[in-house]
Amino acid sequence: MNLIETMNWRYAVKKYNPQKVPAEKVNEILEAIGLTATSAGIQPYRLFVIHNAEIRKVLASDSFNTQITEASHLIAFAAFDSISKEQIADLVHFMAKERELPELALEPYKKSLEQYILSRTDHENFIWSSQQAYIALGTALIAAANAKVDATPMEGFNSEKLDELLLLKEKGLKSVLLLALGYRDAEKDILAHQKKVRLPLEKLVTQIN
**Average pLDDT, 10 consecutive residues per value, the chain (209 residues):** 92 97 98 95 96 96 94 98 95 96 95 95 97 98 98 95 97 98 95 93 96
Interatomic CA distance for residues 194 and 192, integer angstroms: 6
Q: Which residues contact 28 (CB under 8 A, 6 or more apart)?
A: 143, 147
- Is pTM beyond 0.75? Reply is yes
Task: Decide: residue 208, CB within 10 A, 0-12 exposed, 13-18 middle, 19+ buried.
Answer: exposed
The Cα-based distances of 121 to 8, 36, 71, 177 in angstroms read 40, 25, 37, 22
pLDDT at residue 208, as a whole number? 97
pLDDT at residue 40, as a whole number? 87
SS3 for 107-166 is: HHHHHHHHHHHCCCCHHHHHHHHHHHHHHHHHHHHHHHHHCCCEEEEECCCCHHHHHHHC
DSSP 35: T
Q: What is the DSSP string of 77-115?
A: EEEES---HHHHHHHHHHHHHHTT--GGGGHHHHHHHHH
Torsion angles phi and psi, residue 191, rounded to 5: -90, -10
